[in-house]
A = this chain, B = another copy of it.
Amino acid sequence: MNPDIQRERENATFNTDLLTYVLDGGEEKTRRRREIESLVISDADFQQEDANFLSRSERYDAAVRKSAQMILKLREYGISDPEEIYCYKNCVHRGRPEPLDLHLGMFLPTLLNQATPEQQERFFMPAWNLEIIGTYAQTEMGHGTFIRGLETTATYDPATQEFVMNSPTISSIKWWPGGLGKTSNHAIVLAQLYTKGVLHGLHAFIVPIRSMSTHEPLPGIEVGDIGPKFGFDEVDNGYLKMDNVRIPRMNMLMKYAKVDRDGTYQKPPSAKLTYGTMVFIRSMIVGESSRALSKACTIAIRYSSVRHQSELRPGEPEPQILDYQTQQYKLFPLLATAYAFKFVGQYMTETYHRITGDINQGDFSELPELHALSAGLKAFTTWVANSGIEVCRMACGGHGYSRCSSLPDIYVTFTPTCTYEGENTVMMLQTARYLVKSYRQASEGQHLSGIVSYLNEAHQRLQAQPVSSRPTVVNISDLASLVEAYKLRAAKLVEVAAKSLQGELQKSRSPEDAWNNSSIDLVRASDAHCHYVVVKLFAAKLGEISDTGVHSALSTLALLYALHGVAQNSGDFLQAGLLTVPQLSSVSQRLKDILAQVRTNAVALVDAFDYRDEMLNSVLGRYDGNIYEHMFAWARKSPLNRTEVHESYHKYLKPLQSKL
């Protein structure tokens, strides 16, 4: 153990395990997670060469091998709880995506949710036993966010009782689905349904794409890998072009909408059924934001505790770089953010489960709000985590740029969350639509409930007093007071957006143009709303913590999170008259004091995330802090070092010398 990092742990003022239990949701959950992790990590079948040293094809190959093993082992061990499967899988693939993700996460669930009992009979067991390997093909080369724009067609032919599937244009080629390129032999394809010459909009069809015996593409199918990406090397994101591919009528998923033998179309009963799934996926993504950022913080903070550089005081040894205020200012707010997002993710999952219970009893009332909020929170947390990972990487100096740090890998694996499952700006605008609607309702005298209820009082409050005469409400050392300030900031920015929209409408623009011309303000309003929710949930979480050591450490982080946000958005708080100029100076000073407080517990706070070295896979983030010897050992395994002299020397450099 590196003595620097050991000393950090000795100086911590709380019991790390107790905080880990809070993060896992209880001691028993921590125990079980650790058990599963040990099971996977000690399993010889899941060992592999460092992925950084493999080509993309080798990485794909290794991932398929591990996924196949995983399927067998999950059955062998009887692991069937979804959370435990997720944990096992995450551990097998070390947090990376894998080729069967869409088979397990989209193909099977969609069958369960949208297939008729007869269809389930026919498709589910073969899919469960991986004779059918499926994916979910929605996005097209020319169409992502706006799914109504999808061009793929499914035209019903009553003569043969088949659907004829077509990709009528280049831009209609299915593009991006994971596992589509090489792995899957079936795809659930979203296509525009035509029957009796009438367009009925998007529906889902099960399309066989490769032979179940030879795995060769079937006639009329052109399928392949879309090529290398920033990350996701393990996944064969694919393309699919269909040319008059005929599938039986029973391959349309018909639990809701139906096409009869003669081509008569029956509408589905309700269109809002997908709300729940979207909320669930977004709550998972918020959890991912916390996970990715907490990994990056673990690496950067451990590294900063063992890395020595420059001099603070002449003649003394080089200090740990964690002692530099600028380093603390980069890393500690992100550490606080990782905690904040963890609690947001917990809240969303709990709320989702609570509401899902209600749905089964038919009470949808809270769903629109959660749906609207989940869009913004997905965008807010992924954007912040995304840039935060890069701050962590760059805070590790040159070594952060080496793949041995794992930080590049964490970044490229995480960054697609800003785009998939709803592009972030579009997500922000979805939340804004809900906020503006709520604001209008409040100003019309309706009483709002739920998390937007602040728009009731805030509306009155902001209206009643001009900025100059409004008393300053914020006590910058009091978290509850800061939550209040975030609330009023959100209320103010929702108001600004609503008024901008109103102003545009008065210029007699169309509602759509008015919306577009106010969208900068709308995104800002969403952002402020989400920020408020995050601060509020962090503060609320503190009430659940009984251990005084943990409570104290987390309270400091919560205050840091809140004050740092004030400093970063000081213009908003000044503009809304929530802070005075002298108070802003006090915020700066207070932040510095808090950084020094967090310094004491920084390593313990990242230890509490409880990432095993095997999961971090980072030389810089090693638990024992012995970075240099392991960096050297890692480098020696670089593929370029397999020979002492690279062949290019004999091919190009040696011959060049004779020509000069």
B-contacting residues of A (Cβ < 8 Å)?
Answer: 52-53, 55-57, 60-61, 64-65, 67-68, 71-72, 75, 128-131, 133, 139, 141-146, 149, 170-171, 173, 175-176, 181-183, 214-217, 224-231, 236, 239, 307-314, 318, 323-327, 329-330, 386-387, 390, 394, 397-398, 400-404, 408, 412, 415-416, 418-420, 423-426, 429, 467, 496, 510, 512-513, 516-521, 523, 567, 569-575, 577, 581, 584-585, 588, 591-592, 628-629, 631-632, 634-641, 644-649, 651-657, 659-660
CA distance A141 to B308 in the complex (A): 11
Q: Is the CB of B653 within 8 A of A64?
A: yes
Q: Identify which of B239, B398, B581 contacts A575 (C-beta below 8 A).
A: B581
Q: Identify which of B318, B412, B645 contacts A215 (C-beta below 8 A).
A: B645
CA distance A143 to B581 in the complex (A): 42
Given contacts A65-B648, A216-B645, A239-B632, whether A145 and B397 have CB atoms under 8 Å apart is yes
Q: Is the CB of B217 within 8 A of A68?
A: no
Q: Identify which of B149, B496, B638 contacts A309 (C-beta below 8 A).
A: B149
Q: Identify which of B65, B131, B519 contacts A325 (C-beta below 8 A).
A: B519
Point out the residues of chain B lying under 8 angstroms from A657, CB to CB: 129-131
A202–chain B nearest beta-carbon distance, Å? 15
Q: Identify which of B142, B182, B588 contacts A649 (C-beta below 8 A).
A: B182
Instruction: Given A182-B645, A224-B641, A314-B512, output 13 extra A-B contacts at Cβ < 8 Å.
Output: A60-B648, A61-B651, A68-B652, A182-B649, A215-B653, A225-B635, A227-B637, A230-B408, A239-B635, A330-B425, A398-B416, A398-B419, A574-B575
Q: Identify which of B142, B228, B639 contacts A628 (C-beta below 8 A).
A: B142
Q: Identify which of B146, B523, B641 contacts A225 (C-beta below 8 A).
A: B641
Q: Is the CB of A644 within 8 A of B217?
A: yes
Q: Is the CB of B653 within 8 A of A226?
A: no
Q: Is the CB of A170 within 8 A of B397?
A: no
Point out the residues of chain B lying under 8 angstroms from A628, CB to CB: 141-142, 170-171
Given contacts A141-B631, A638-B227, whether A313 and B510 have CB atoms under 8 Å apart is yes
> Would you list the 4 A-B pairs with minimal beta carbon distance, nearest first?
A570-B571, A225-B640, A227-B638, A230-B408
Q: Is the CB of A318 within 8 A of B149?
A: yes
CA distance A119 to B304 in the complex (A): 42
Q: Is the CB of A419 within 8 A of B401?
A: yes
Q: Is the CB of A397 within 8 A of B144?
A: yes
Q: Is the CB of B398 within 8 A of A144?
A: yes
Q: Is the CB of A324 within 8 A of B519?
A: yes
Given contacts A149-B318, A217-B644, A640-B182, whether A170 and B139 have CB atoms under 8 Å apart is no
6 sample A-B contacts, Cβ–Cβ < 8 Å, listed by A number: A68-B652, A71-B656, A72-B660, A146-B311, A310-B426, A326-B425
A319–chain B nearest beta-carbon distance, Å? 9
Q: Identify which of B57, B230, B314, B640 contacts A640 (C-beta below 8 A).
A: B57
Q: Which of A68, A307, A313, A581 has the most CB of B within 10 A?
A: A68
Point out the residues of chain B lying under 8 angstroms from A323, CB to CB: 516
A213–chain B nearest beta-carbon distance, Å? 9
Q: Is the CB of B574 within 8 A of A318?
A: no
A574–chain B nearest beta-carbon distance, Å? 5
Point out the residues of chain B lying under 8 angstroms from A236, CB to CB: 640, 646
Q: Is the CB of B68 within 8 A of A653?
A: yes
Point out the residues of chain B lying under 8 angstroms from A585, CB to CB: 496
CA distance A635 to B226 in the complex (A): 5
A521–chain B nearest beta-carbon distance, Å? 7
CA distance A555 to B650 in the complex (A): 55
Q: Identify which of B129, B214, B646, B653 contacts A133 (C-beta below 8 A).
A: B653
CA distance A207 to B216 in the complex (A): 57
CA distance A215 to B230 in the complex (A): 35
A37–chain B nearest beta-carbon distance, Å? 23
A652–chain B nearest beta-carbon distance, Å? 4
A54–chain B nearest beta-carbon distance, Å? 9
Please give me the residue from chain B that is nearest to A655 by CB atom: B68
Please give me the residue from chain B that is nearest to A75 by CB atom: B660
CA distance A592 to B520 in the complex (A): 9
Point out the residues of chain B lying under 8 angstroms from A646, CB to CB: 57, 60-61, 64, 182, 236
Q: Is the CB of A401 within 8 A of B415?
A: yes
Given contacts A64-B648, A326-B523, A571-B571, whether A639 and B311 have CB atoms under 8 Å apart is no
Given contacts A224-B638, A324-B516, whether A230 and B61 have CB atoms under 8 Å apart is no
